[in-house]
Chain A
């Protein structure tokens, strides 16, 4: 396959590109969805193609094709060069690429059972029986889904990289929807939109959906008759998957170097962070230690090399509350004068690789959820995301959760519905005063991170354990 890729790369270089790299991908996916005990969708997908990018002056030119004939591969190299060259009508400053090791290597995601070799009957039975059980015990609607990806990538560059990787990802989830008088309430497991990790069918088996159907069905019904989450300023305790999304939105996107440099300004936005304040800016409380770690076994954004051939690594992002690191690519790292962190990935062969979160997680503390609750006099414990919104500087956010629980005098008392909270990023993180430990630290995965134009969907990981935040505004309603 590398011979094929090099036909494209050689053409781009021979025409005058400073640098070129390309990927051939074979991407398989399977989507299974169920509603109310019926199979709603069963789809297998497979596609194959090449994407090549060429650097000419200050711009990347990128071309992707499904046609892998010799003629087409050479034409792809030519088109990538010509597209980059067209950018010279509106040029910027030329930039170098940060140096990375030039390697020839292979990697396969560790897994026990490839999900594409497991009986589809077993997969369908699991998800259909889960929704059937929820429907049977009174859910207005019961939803379930499973998703699997098996991606083979061959990456080569004009500098001599030759890397083969086979990334296997699995995930899914179940939800119970209860419909009341002019309102709906939902409970999901393991988290809203499902939980996703690298690995095989064993990931799904570990979720034990059927052990949770009764609880989420009952909770969604009970929410309909529960009082509204009170409005006001209180202590907020977040369950791990909600904290994972809080990390994703208010830390993960803010530390993307392409955003900080203004490359995403018109669409996803920029960042409240300024590079000149790296190693000085106070991001949060001393309990806040964030790392971007693409080497965590089983986490969703774990691989051996990114889509520029840079080795996966662990990078400190926030240390004891101080901002120390960014997410980089070879181009942005060189421009900013920082080390490339292996954080560039593309959504399939047809998209330009760009800075992407890896496993951006909050390192565990030394407390526990039980201790956090028992030491809270007046607060709300919120579980499982329901809505999320944040401004384009990644400062002003508002989240809604599926369920809230009042905490009074160290004990969980009543269930409350429509819990929301809002805040400003550094103030919020600065108010974190308790953090659960490693026993409750879970590698939450987000399979639906949108970024870039044309639009790309990224898979990111966010290890987190429950935490408490002081004096947060909760209960915002329309």
Chain B
């Protein structure tokens, strides 16, 4: 890409030889068509080129983040950065730059999608809802990332993604569905609309039930929420460094049916194949037969914990966040949704969780609510839709030994509180889940 080539050409010539420098660039076009009350009300596109510079000299580090328009002269940028460095204390955990041998060339020129295609997908979704009130979004993104450093590394990659996420609302109910794909044209809007419509219809006139401990079947979006919380607050090695992670490597902490891997090379995987250090990502095991196998490391956390780097640095997030897997797959089982329901004596089906927050990171006790489709299951059959419930439940225990009764046979990309497209998961049947409040508090 010409902007990138010019940038590293200019900067490369001006960096003093005793200074280590890393430059990252994110160039993307993010488009999102939003609808509510069954019509499109917001339709946006943003083109951005953000540049992230890190300088390390005399044992000190500074970061400078700019977009291409605010850069001004490259000489001034370097002068400012080196002046900032002088004021900083020593950086005792500086992990160094990625070596030249890790260079990866994945950049491809891809144009952004026409807004008419997104509008058409929205139309197809809304038509499935008949008289119900539709709301949601259809997005499509093209993102390019580049990393260069004074070790001679020069890496790039391109990723595309498209999502359709929507709900229908009746007077008394709501139902949601979600789909993700690399290519907007491959999004099956009618299928997503049909699923949301069915859930909305079946969820009408919900009844309140008493809070308590119930068996649950969790839909993919609810499963995704549990796994993303465990990923961010547990498997993220930064939380281990900070002393707040509950995850212990090679200790039997989860049910043996839980197998989680991070695989950027899987067919259909979204997101980049390099991390923000410029190194290619590898397929790694996160949980195998219930046993944690790896944290998500950055260069810095790997250094601090004296472990091997797993290359999970995030573009644009900085060292204070840590690392996160972005191609997470929970291995499917062999149980269909109907079989799973028929295995429940008395329990609740939860389509989606909402507004989950951690009460204590080290126990992963989380509170949140259900929404967009919940049903009571009695003696193997769905008997009635149920209303709002609040849970207060350890996410570690929810997937703990003996608590996972079954793993669904079908997987899909699922939404989560930390963004879509990073988790591909099936449904789960859990033995116990603690609901601590109902509609009346």
Contacts and interface: CB of A to CB of B under 8 A. Distances in A.
Interface string A26-59: 1000010101001111111111110100000011
Given A44-B62, A263-B36, A352-B44, 19 more contacts: A49-B69, A51-B46, A83-B115, A86-B33, A87-B40, A87-B43, A90-B39, A92-B37, A92-B41, A124-B87, A124-B88, A183-B360, A266-B165, A422-B437, A423-B441, A424-B441, A454-B32, A476-B436, A478-B366
Interface in B327-374: 354-363, 365-369, 371
Nearest to A37: B89
A34 B337 CA distance: 48
B44 A83 contact: yes
A478 B393 contact: yes
Contact of A184 (B42, B244, B366): B244
Interface string A82-113: 11101101111000000000000000000000
B441 A49 contact: no
A120 interface: yes
B363 A183 contact: yes
A285 interface: no
A33 B320 CA distance: 8
B368 A476 contact: no
Interface stretch (A156-164, A392-400, A408-416): A392-400
A68 interface: yes
B43 A38 contact: no
Nearest to B134: A266
Contacts of A26: 70
B41 A59 contact: yes
B210 interface: no
Contacts of B116: 86, 89
A184 B91 contact: no
A208 B82 CA distance: 30
B169 interface: yes
B362 A66 contact: no
B103 interface: no
B186 interface: no
| Among all A-B residue pairs, the 6 with the closest Cβ atoms | A92-B39, A86-B115, A87-B40, A47-B67, A45-B65, A266-B135
Interface string B268-301: 0000000000000000000000000000000000
B434 interface: yes
B367 A478 contact: yes
B44 A62 contact: yes
A184 B39 contact: no
A418 B43 contact: no
Contact of A62 (B45, B118, B166, B394): B45
Interface in B357-399: 357-363, 365-369, 371, 388, 390-394
Contacts of B89: 38-39, 124, 128
Interface stretch (A235-243, A313-321, A382-390, A437-445): A382-390
B359 A478 contact: yes
A13 B388 CA distance: 47
A79 B116 CA distance: 12
A120 B40 contact: no
A33 to B, nearest CB: 5
A424 B441 CA distance: 6
A478 B41 contact: no
B360 A89 contact: no
Contacts of B441: 396, 422-424, 427, 473
Interface stretch (B16-24, B47-55, B148-156): B47-55
B34 to A, nearest CB: 6
B243 A350 contact: no
B45 A83 contact: yes
Contact of A478 (B32, B88, B176, B365): B365
A390 B355 contact: yes
B369 A396 contact: yes
Contacts of B41: 58-60, 87, 92, 263
A422 B394 CA distance: 18
A214 interface: no
B123 A90 contact: yes
Interface string B295-336: 000000000000000000000001110000000000000000
Contacts of B73: none
12 contacts: A35-B242, A42-B88, A43-B62, A47-B50, A48-B67, A84-B43, A92-B41, A182-B363, A391-B354, A391-B390, A398-B390, A478-B392
A56 to B, nearest CB: 10
A390 B388 CA distance: 11
A26 B63 CA distance: 19
Contacts of A65: 46-47
- Which among A33, A48, A389, A478 has the highest number of chain B CB atoms within 10 Å? A478
A66 B50 CA distance: 9
Nearest to B45: A63
A83 to B, nearest CB: 5
A264 interface: yes
B120 interface: yes
Contacts of A47: 50, 65-67, 69-70
Contacts of A39: 88-89, 91
B91 A391 contact: no
Interface string A462-478: 00000000000100111
Contacts of A87: 33, 39-41, 43, 115, 119
B84 interface: yes
A68 B69 contact: yes
A210 interface: no
A44 B40 contact: no
Contact of B355 (A49, A128, A391): A391
Contact of B319 (A40, A61, A453): A40
A473 B33 CA distance: 42
